[in-house]
Amino acid sequence: MPLWVDKYRPNSFDKFVVHKDIADNLKKLVATGDFPHTLFYGPPGAGKKTLVMALLRAIYGAGVEKVRVETKPWKIDLPSRKLEVELTTLSSNHHLELNPADVGSNDRYVVQEIIKEMARSRPMGADGSRGFKVLVLNEVDRLSKEAQQGLRRTMEKYSSACRLIMVCSNVSKVMEPVRSRCLCVRVAAPSDAQVMEVLQGVAKKENLVLPEAFAARVVDYAGRNLRRALLCLEVCRAQQYPFGDSQEPQRADWELYIAEVAKNIMDEQSPKQLYLVRSKLYELLANCVPPELIMRQLTFELLKRMDDEIKLETVSYAAQFEQRLQEGAKAIFHLEAFVARVMSNVKTYLVSCGLA
């Protein structure tokens, strides 16, 4: 059985409840017979990928939903050596989707060679009404500057045979030369009222009785992230039904684990405790929790547990180390440095208050 977030995902512009205005504008654009390179940007769970798939369906029809997943090695000849990278792609007869940032520091070679090869080959499929194919690139804000430079050249050279649809969360990390060559579509996070409307619609289709008080708590927990709200509602449905007015949303395991890390930090500030926290941060990273998400969630959990006098400094440290996290290569260094800084600050405060 598919998850509700996939089962009730709108697959055409006419079915959109959230971002109806964006869907209508894209529908008019497709009706012209062509569209430019496009960049969708907005926070996680806002509906960027849903809009992309609806756009592809409007262009090519239902054929884009028949996709195949492939993971294969690509061999790239460099002047001094041969490079082999493994990349997972999602493709139909009309489009191909990939995430160049998955290969890390080799992303520029993926953009320069692999995407270039895809872009200059003949259009996929036998659809004679479209003289181009579409490449969907995820997380372009994680690409290096060299990769984005290569992407700009590819966009210019092969625009007649290929259209790029790019998706990112932070548009400020996409170079201006790339943004200026795209139709930029801002996909804002849905409002709490819109999230509530979607949850009530899904509950009705699933023949569920959804108490308003419980639904409000799910909406508040989701933080305007529609995907998170639907996943939370489905987990709560599996855990306990009928829903109760006093029922609490089920938090994700990684969130509970980060809350435990925050408790460790506030309970004891010592090198031994720092070593213990480091191992837990490693475990979170090993389970593919993004370091930016760890930093943000850890900061929220720490703020719940500390006195008002040191909250401002903690937020300042979080902003400082989050920036370093974006610029550095090893996430664990910056996460551990943030924890050490917070421990030092908490210890100094406790000593000054005579509590340690």
pLDDT band, residue 127 (cuts 50/70/90): very low
Q: Rounded to whole angstroms, how far apart are CA atoms 24 and 12?
A: 10
Dump pLDDT digits (tens) for 277-321: 999 999 999 988 888 889 999 999 999 888 888 889 999 999 999
Q: Checking DSSP bridges between strand 183-186 and strand 162-168, what pairing results, if any?
A: unpaired
What is the helix (H) or strand (E) element at residue 120, kind and residue range?
helix 116-120
Domain chopping of the chain, boundaries: 4-186, 192-239, 253-352
Supply 259's token pair. Answer: 């809350």
pTM of the model: 0.83
The amino acid that residue 74 corresponds to is W
Q: Does the N-terminal peptide bond of residue 242 adopt cis geometry, omega within 30 degrees of 0?
A: yes
Architecture, CATH, for domain 4-186:
3-Layer(aba) Sandwich (3.40)
Dump pLDDT digits (tens) for 139-196: 888 888 888 888 887 787 777 778 889 999 888 888 888 888 888 999 998 998 999 9
In the three-class reduction of DSSP (H, G, I as helix; E, B as strand; rest coil), residue 17 is classed as coil
Neighbours of 201 (CB within 10 A): 12
Architecture, CATH, for domain 253-352:
Up-down Bundle (1.20)
The mean predicted confidence, pLDDT, of the chain is 85
